[in-house]
């Protein structure tokens, strides 16, 4: 294998399957190393969707998680970290360090954007700043750290040694994702997770891609060939017999020629339902028809606001309302189902902007869900700068943001105005139930302004019940998969206790 010593790398992940961990695991195994996983399902606080604290506390078992990490006998422990799970990672790593001195490395978007803050902790020995596909294997084979490693920061003799920067990896050269890493935790025979590209042509002010474009000094997207992706899906289908594919590309349809070629072959050679993310500027009737014909059961659009000035000025989103309507009209005409993401608490937005959005969303024919998020300030993004310019946040707030102490995008985010919170909570409830209401009924509610009192309804369990009802009413396969995952995790936990 050409390695000096076989090493054991332990990934610690939470909430959901992690493609970055699977990619690095595949490379490490190619080089002859051993890779294992300790997974925390973090039920009802999975940083993906569900957030019900008392249920999470009831089902959580941190002691067993720590014991599995300690007993793993790993040579190096790696945490995959994003902004919302950073505190979880710190809590777990801190406890692990009480028992063993094994080197701990944090990698992911949050350590990449705030490496100085992460390295302040005694229990973090190293940080992967940037992509880890090449950096982590190099680190594993040079744990003595006799020389700096690009993309790796580490501590030595009380100093922080900062490695240089590696060029972005060529996606075509990478091995396929090591799904065996999550086989015991995620039912691979149901949904197959993958990406065909990295990067994003847009530069939305609130998104981590906004930071990454500055960090990588690169505006170009990287995309795997049609042959490469089809081969991966064929091999995985033969092995797992999956029933659905979930493409996690930031925007799946950016290259029309690639998209149409891929979807034609996907229909002929894979032929299972799938879901993907798109953007109204990269959606027309040709693409919508091809997605519908090839088995797409839902495409996700980030609309965020129907107020053009807000999108342009604060979100760096330059599509017009007419372009949004044209793209979604194309989906409606061919019968392609989709969801729309909406953000509450954007700078300067008031109730009238939510009324504007309500009137638009209620007219959509094939919209199965309006997915609601709360404006959250992620470190080093342009939205942070804009909010500071407007006096919404100050230097102390920015320090908290860089320490991951801001709000959660499913739970009222970074909004401080109590009256606006009440207003937005009411519209959140309205938007969540809107897919099963008729236009006439929505107009009736708006006219009598009954929706303004929806904030009085408790948010946790009622919202969950509404989502379940909407899921069955719209036959939302994505939601069913998520419910099934939770059912399996809860059943597994109960059986372990017995």
Which backbone phi and psi does 373 adopt, to 5 degrees? -125, 160
Contact 43, 55 (CB under 8 A): yes
Task: List the structure tokens of 486.
Answer: 């939770």
Q: Looking at residue 418, what is its pLDDT?
A: 80
CA distances from 212 to 127, 288, 381 (A): 16, 29, 9
Tens-of-pLDDT digits for all 498 residues of the chain? 444 689 999 999 999 999 999 999 999 999 999 999 999 998 888 887 777 777 888 888 889 999 999 999 999 999 999 999 999 999 999 999 999 999 999 999 999 999 999 999 999 999 999 999 999 999 999 999 989 999 999 998 889 999 999 999 999 999 999 999 999 999 899 999 999 999 999 989 999 999 998 898 876 789 999 999 999 999 999 999 999 999 999 999 999 999 999 999 999 999 999 999 999 999 999 999 999 999 999 999 999 999 999 999 999 999 999 999 999 999 999 999 999 999 998 988 889 999 999 999 999 999 999 999 989 899 999 999 999 998 888 999 899 999 888 765 555 556 677 888 889 999 999 999 998 899 999 999 998 888 888 888 877 777 778 888 888 888 888 788 888 888 888 877 765 654
Tokens 């595949």 belong to which residue? Answer: 26
Q: What ranges do the domains of the chain cover? A: 8-162, 187-489
Single out the residue of 246, 234, 266 nearest to residue 194, CA to CA: 246
pTM of this structure:
0.92
Q: Looking at residue 1, what is its pLDDT?
A: 40
CATH 3.40.50.2300 fits 8-162, yes or no: yes
Contact 174, 27 (CB under 8 A): yes
Which residues lie across from 112 on neighbouring strands? none
Neighbours of 390 (CB within 10 A): 11
Q: Looking at residue 221, what is its pLDDT?
A: 87
CATH topology of domain 187-489: pyruvate-formate lyase- activating enzyme (3.80.30)
Q: Looking at residue 498, what is its pLDDT?
A: 41
């Amino acid at each position: 294998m050409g390695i000096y010593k076989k090493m054991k790398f332990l990934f610690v992940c939470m909430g959901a399957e992690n493609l970055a961990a699977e990619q690095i695991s595949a490379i490490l195994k190619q080089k002859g190393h051993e890779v294992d996983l300790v997974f925390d399902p973090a039920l009802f606080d999975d940083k993906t969707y569900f957030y019900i604290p008392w249920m999470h506390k009831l089902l959580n078992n941190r002691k067993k998680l720590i014991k599995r990490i300690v007993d793993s006998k790993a040579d190096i422990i790696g945490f995959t970290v994003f902004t919302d799970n950073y505190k979880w990672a710190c809590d777990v790593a801190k406890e692990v360090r009480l028992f063993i001195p094994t080197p701990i490395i944090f990698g992911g978007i949050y350590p990449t954007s705030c490496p100085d803050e992460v390295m302040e902790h005694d229990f973090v020995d190293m940080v992967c700043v940037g992509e880890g596909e090449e950096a982590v294997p190099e680190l594993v084979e040079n744990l003595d750290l006799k020389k700096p490693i690009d993309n790796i920061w580490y501590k030595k003799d009380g100093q922080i040694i900062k490695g240089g920067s590696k060029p972005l990896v060529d996606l075509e050269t990478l091995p396929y994702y090591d799904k065996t890493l999550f086989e015991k935790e995620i039912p691979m025979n149901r949904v197959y997770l993958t990406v065909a590209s990295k990067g994003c042509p847009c530069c939305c002010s609130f998104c981590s891609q906004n930071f990454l474009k500055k960090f990588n000094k690169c505006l170009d997207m990287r995309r795997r060939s049609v042959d490469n992706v089809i081969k991966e899906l064929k091999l995985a289908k033969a092995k797992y017999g999956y029933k659905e594919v979930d493409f996690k590309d930031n925007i799946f349809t950016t290259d029309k020629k690639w998209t149409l070629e891929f979807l034609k072959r996907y229909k002929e050679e894979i032929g299972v339902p799938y879901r993907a993310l798109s953007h109204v500027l990269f959606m027309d009737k040709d693409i919508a028809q091809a997605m519908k014909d090839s088995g797409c059961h839902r495409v996700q659009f980030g609309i965020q606001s129907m107020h053009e000035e807000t999108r342009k000025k604060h979100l760096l989103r330059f599509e017009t309302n007419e372009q949004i309507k044209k793209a979604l009209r194309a989906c409606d005409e061919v019968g392609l189902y989709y969801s729309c993401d909406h953000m509450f608490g954007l700078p300067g937005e008031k109730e009238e902007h939510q009324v504007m959005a309500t009137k638009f969303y209620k007219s959509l024919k094939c919209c199965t869900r309006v997915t609601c998020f709360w404006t959250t300030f992620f470190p080093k993004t342009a939205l942070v700068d804009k909010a500071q310019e407007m006096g919404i946040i100050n230097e102390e707030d920015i320090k908290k943001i860089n320490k991951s102490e801001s709000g959660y995008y499913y739970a009222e985010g970074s909004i401080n105005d109590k009256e606006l919170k009440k207003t937005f909570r009411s519209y959140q409830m309205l938007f969540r139930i809107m897919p099963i209401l008729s236009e006439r009924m929505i107009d009736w509610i708006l006219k009598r302004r009954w929706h303004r009192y929806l904030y009085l309804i408790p948010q946790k369990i009622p919202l969950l019940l509404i989502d379940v009802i909407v899921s069955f009413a719209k036959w939302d396969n994505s939601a069913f998969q998520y419910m099934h995952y939770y059912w399996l995790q809860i059943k597994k936990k109960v059986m372990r206790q017995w």
